[in-house]
C-alpha cells in the first residue's frame, strides 16, 4: 500500500459515502482496480469510514451539539421526576435518530453474512447501482413535502431506518436511500437531507466498531502511520465536499443528475461481467 493509493481510496470513500452513488460499491470496484484485496486493507477501510464520520460532525457541529445537549437535559429531567418530555425540535430529533438506528442495526447484525456475500459479486453491485439510480429518479419526481420536525413521528424514523438498512447492500447508496425514504414520507428537502446525514453517525460509527475487531486482528500490514493519516484526511476533506455538494443539488432539485451516473456505471459493470 502506498500513500497515493490510500489518498485515492480516501477520496472515493469520502465522495461516495455522501453523494447518492454508493460508497461500498465504488470502494469495492476501486479496490479491485487498484489491486488491493479487501482483507489486506481492512484496517485502512475502517479508518476511511472514520474520516467520513468526522466530516459529518464538522458540517453539522451545531445541530449535533444541540441534540447531545437536549438528550442530556432530558435524562436529567427523568431523574428529577419531571417525566419524559420531548419539548423541542433537537430533543425530538435525537430520539428519532435513535429510533431510525434500531432497524438499521438489527439488519446489519442478523443479515451481515448475506450482505457480505454480495461484495464478492461485481454483477450484484452493478444491478444495485441501477436500482439506486431508479430510486433517485423516482424521488425527484415526488413533489417536495412540507413536513417538518414537529410533524415527524416514530413510524417515519423506522421506515427511513429500514431504507438505510437495505443500503448495506453494495451498490445501494445509503444517503440516496435515506433521502428517498424521507421524501416518500413527505419531509421537506432540508429536513430529508439533514436527517439522512445525522442518522449516518450511529450507522457509520456502529460499522466502524463492528469492523474494528476484525481489522485489528488482520493488522495494519505494510501500512505506516503516514499512509493511514493520508487516507483519513483525504476521506474527511472529500466527505465535507460531498455533503455540501449534495445539499446544493437537493436545493436546486437536481438530485436526478446522479441517476444518470449510477445507471451508466451500473450498466457498464453488468455488461463487462456478462461478456467475460
Res. 37 pLDDT band, cuts 50 70 90: low
User: What does the pLDDT read at residue 76?
Assistant: 87
Q: Is residue 255 scored above 70 in pLDDT?
A: yes
pLDDT attached to residue 3? 87
Calculate the alpha carbon distances from 63 to 132, 167, 236 in Å: 28, 24, 19
Radius of gyration of the chain (CA): 19
Convert the pLDDT of each residue in 148-160 to its tens digit. Answer: 999 999 999 999 9
Three-class secondary structure of residue 187 per DSSP = strand
Instruction: Give me the pLDDT at residue 194, please.
Output: 93
- For residue range 44-75, list pLDDT tens digits in order: 788 888 899 999 999 999 999 999 999 999 88
pLDDT 10s digits, 195-223: 999 999 998 888 778 777 666 666 666 67
Q: What is the mean pLDDT of residues 140-149?
A: 78
Look up the pTM and report it: 0.85
Percent of the residues in the chain that have a pLDDT greater than 70, as a whole number = 92
Give the residue among 5, 60, 34 at the shortest CA–CA distance from 239: 60
The total number of residues written for the chain in this structure: 276
Residue corresponding to grid cell 480516501: 10
pLDDT at residue 38, as a whole number: 62
Amino acid at each position: 500500500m502506498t500513500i497515493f493509493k490510500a489518498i485515492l481510496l480516501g477520496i472515493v470513500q469520502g465522495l461516495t459515502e455522501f453523494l447518492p452513488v454508493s460508497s461500498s460499491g465504488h470502494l469495492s470496484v476501486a479496490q479491485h482496480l487498484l489491486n488491493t484485496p479487501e482483507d489486506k486493507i481492512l484496517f485502512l477501510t475502517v479508518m476511511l469510514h472514520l474520516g467520513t464520520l468526522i466530516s459529518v460532525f464538522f458540517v453539522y457541529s451545531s445541530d449535533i451539539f444541540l441534540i447531545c445537549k437536549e438528550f442530556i437535559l432530558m435524562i436529567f429531567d427523568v431523574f428529577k421526576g419531571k417525566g419524559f418530555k420531548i419539548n423541542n425540535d433537537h430533543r425530538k430529533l435525537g430520539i428519532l435518530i435513535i429510533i431510525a438506528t434500531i432497524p438499521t442495526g438489527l439488519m446489519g447484525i442478523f443479515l451481515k453474512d448475506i450482505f457480505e456475500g454480495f461484495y464478492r459479486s461485481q454483477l450484484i453491485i452493478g444491478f444495485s447501482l441501477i436500482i439506486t439510480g431508479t430510486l433517485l429518479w423516482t424521488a425527484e419526481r415526488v413533489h417536495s413535502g412540507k413536513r417538518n420536525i414537529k410533524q415527524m413521528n416514530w413510524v417515519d424514523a423506522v421506515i427511513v431506518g429500514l431504507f438505510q438498512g437495505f443500503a448495506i447492500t453494495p451498490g445501494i447508496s445509503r444517503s440516496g436511500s435515506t433521502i428517498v425514504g424521507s421524501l416518500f414520507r413527505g419531509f421537506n428537502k432540508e429536513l430529508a437531507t439533514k436527517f439522512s446525514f445525522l442518522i449516518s453517525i450511529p450507522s457509520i460509527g456502529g460499522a466502524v466498531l463492528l469492523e474494528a475487531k476484525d481489522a485489528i486482528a488482520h493488522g495494519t500490514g505494510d501500512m505506516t502511520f503516514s499512509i493511514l493519516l493520508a487516507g483519513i484526511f483525504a476521506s474527511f476533506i472529500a466527505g465535507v465536499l460531498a455533503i455540501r455538494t449534495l445539499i446544493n443539488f437537493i436545493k436546486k432539485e437536481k438530485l436526478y443528475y446522479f441517476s444518470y451516473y449510477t445507471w451508466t456505471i451500473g450498466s457498464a459493470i453488468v455488461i463487462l461481467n456478462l461478456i467475460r
